[in-house]
Amino acid sequence: DIQMTQSPGSVSASVGDRVVITCRASQHISNWLAWYQQKPGQAPRLLIYSASTLQSGVPPRFSGSESGSEFTLTISSVQPDDFATYYCQQANSFPRTFGPGTKVEIK
Amino acid sequence: QLQLRESGPGLVKPSETLSLICTVSGGPMSTKTYYWGWIRQSPAKGLEWIGSIDYSGSTFYKKSLRSRVTMSLDMSRNHLSLKLSDVTAADTAVYFCARSVWSVSWFDIWGQGTRVFVSS
């Protein structure tokens, strides 16, 4: 199975800060990567797919990028609604696997 | 707007079979480009993909769960079902159904999830 890792495990940020979350896969996954946002008691919400394509309805302050085997989710200016846990997921190989999550907390 | 909703017993005894239904509303399930999946989430394992099924009934299961998992579609009732046999405490989780498009890729529409406890 492809193992997904994320860093940091948690990050404290103030409204307006730029937040960067990194995801790495244990094997090459091309651009078969998605990012999700999850709030307590809710289902994950798809933010980005194909590593960098913004899902319809997602604010443009979210962006995704890829550099080699490292994938990045950037929130350019964190808003109060963005405090949540973020997960990456690979869709290159079966079984589909998710990262352990990065919690974005209010500083 | 397509909506998914999971339902099923919240408590299952060890060694029994967990059975869940996902009801799809707001649109048809039978579109050839749709794939329907089950994902569960627990503190121990995080988000875990269980498997997916396409409109024709072809299934894609996580290998480690394959011997215990059965997924099926009932297009006439707009239902997706999950059966997981011989459950243990390790199967305690929130179970989500979700849709992916064009392939078993990312999941763009999710149900709200249903919590299942395995306990005697």
The DSSP result for chain A, as a single string, is: ---EEEE-SEEEE-TT--EEEEEEESS--TT-EEEEEE-TTS--EEEEETTTEEPTT--TTEEEEEETTEEEEEESS--GGG-SEEEEEE-SSSSPEE---EEEEE-
What's the pLDDT at A58?
98
Task: Report whether A102 contacts A9 (CB < 8 A).
Answer: yes
C-alpha A105/C-alpha A80 separation (Å) is: 10
How are beta strands B114-118 and B11-12 bridged, if at all?
parallel
Task: Report whether B120 contacts B114 (CB < 8 A).
Answer: no
Residue of B65, B106, B115 best to disrupt the A interface, most CBs of A under 10 A: B106
Residue B104 touches partner A, C-beta closer than 8 Å: yes
B107, A32: Cβ pair inside 8 Å? no
| pLDDT band, residue B29 (cuts 50/70/90) | confident
Q: How many CB pairs under 8 A join A and B?
A: 51
What's the pLDDT at A80?
95
Residue B5 touches partner A, C-beta closer than 8 Å: no
Mean pLDDT over A43-68 rounds to 97
pLDDT digits (tens, 9 = 90+) for B7-28: 999 999 999 999 999 999 998 8
Mean pLDDT over A49-71 rounds to 96
Residue B46 touches partner A, C-beta closer than 8 Å: yes
- Of the partner residues A49, A97, A99, the one whose CB lies closest to the CB of residue B49: A97
What's the pLDDT at B110?
98
What's the pLDDT at B82?
98
Give the list of residues 6+ apart from residue A40 with CB closer than 8 angstroms, or none.
Answer: none
| Residues of chain B neighbouring A32 (CB-CB closer than 8 A) | 105
A87, B62: Cβ pair inside 8 Å? no
